[in-house]
Amino acid sequence: MSDTQTKPGPAKSKGVDENGERRLNMIEAINEALDVSMARDDDIVVMGEDVGYFGGVFRCTAGLQDKYGKSRVFDTPISECGIIGIAVGMGAYGLRPVPEIQFADYIYPGLDQLISEAARLRYRSAGEYIAPMTVRSPFGGGIFGGQTHSQSPEAIFAHVSGLKTVIPATPYDAKGLLISAIEDNDPVIFFEPKRIYNGPFSGYYDKPVQPWKKFEQSIVPEGYYKIPLGKARLATEGDQVTILAYGTMVHVVEAVCKEKGIEADVLDLRTIVPLDIEAIEASVKKTGRCLIVHEATRTAGFGAELSALVTERCFYHLEAPVERVTGFDTPYPHSLEWAYFPGPIRIGEALDKNLQDLKR
């Protein structure tokens, strides 16, 4: 892009509403978290493909290069391995890099640097060096991106000791969790559900012709605040069933429960590593039932780990087997994206099965 072309601005939200409450979408909240963090700490640098002059393909870094200069917000070559490798070196020498991988589907060339270097650095150096880096990346479906722009690879990173994995579901959480991630001394994978970048939507998307119903945007305070990593959020409270979800799926299960009149503890996990197992255990012991929902493929997905943990810790409290509703074990489809998503029909069927003895 030449200097004579106009850069698009950041996505616009409702801003301050009639009650004086400040509402942002997730893009704006992430942009603000970066801005607040960079203003507080000169060692924070933002880097990645198109994050500088253009402000990122989803506008999450818009305006930051103009404010903080090209030495702190800069574009990189198209080399995910190089982006992550540079960030590891920066972290080891005292900086706090926030590299962006343009889509989670592109992160695989950087796995060697993430797993063999970033995740191991603290341990292999006996604490002499650390890698305080936060790798941001849009993930999941919802934009008809097909197989190369829609993947949900969170289980890969949850398996790696030394990495933390964060997945926000609301703009408020996105800002507070990102600030915490940037200040953390360990490497963090920060996955941003692209389908809810511009505001959460209801779960009614079994067919693409179905209209998207937009929810209100989050109230996001100005300035600095943190949400601790490893603490789940109780999105809704009930005593019939516990539903474990994160990212986009939190809004889907909330919509299904509302339609079906089910009183559920919907736990938004927020971070899958570290995991708030205490909150999960307390909820399942209260309800006696557990449904796990995630967009990623089923086999060896993070839901399998959740199912194992719930069974190990809550077996004698369970009134029904743990159920999972997930994406299918296929490459991500383009034309059938809405059928691939765990939607109201499949989630509703799983809830009916889990609660069937209560209806007798």
251 and 192 inside one domain: no
The mean pLDDT of 7-19, rounded to a whole number, is 59
91 and 169 inside one domain: yes
105 and 55 inside one domain: yes
Question: How is residue 267 written in tokens?
Answer: 């736990």
36 and 162 inside one domain: yes
184 and 244 inside one domain: no
191 and 244 inside one domain: no
247 and 166 inside one domain: no
142 and 246 inside one domain: no
Q: Has residue 11 got a pLDDT over 60?
A: no
Whether 172 contacts 163, CB under 8 Å? no
Report the percent of the chain where pLDDT is more than 70: 89
- Which residue in this structure is represented by tokens 């605040």? 225
Task: Determine, yes or no, domain membership for 175.
Answer: yes
pLDDT per residue over 167-182, tens digit each?
A: 999 999 999 999 999 9
Of residues 139, 342, 351, the one with CA closest to residue 252? 342
- Any idea what the CATH number is for the domain that residue 41 is in? 3.40.50.970
Active site residues: 149
Q: What sections of the chain are H helices per DSSP?
A: 26-40, 64-68, 80-92, 111-112, 121-124, 154-158, 171-183, 248-260, 277-287, 302-314, 337-340, 344-354
pLDDT per residue over 184-224, tens digit each?
A: 999 999 999 998 998 755 344 443 333 333 444 688 999 99
How many structural domains does the chain have?
Answer: 2
- Any idea what the CATH number is for the domain that residue 300 is in? 3.40.50.920
**Which pLDDT score, from 0 to 100, does residue 357 have?**
75
Q: State which residues form the domain around 151.
A: 15-196
**Which pLDDT score, from 0 to 100, does residue 226 have?**
98
The mean pLDDT of 36-57, rounded to a whole number, is 97
144 and 280 inside one domain: no
**Which pLDDT score, from 0 to 100, does residue 214 have?**
44
Task: Grade residue 113 by pLDDT with cuts at 50, 70 and 90.
Answer: very high
100 and 41 inside one domain: yes
165 and 19 inside one domain: yes
The CA-based dihedral angle spanning residues 47, 53, 55, 57, taken in that order and rounded to the nearest 10 degrees: -90
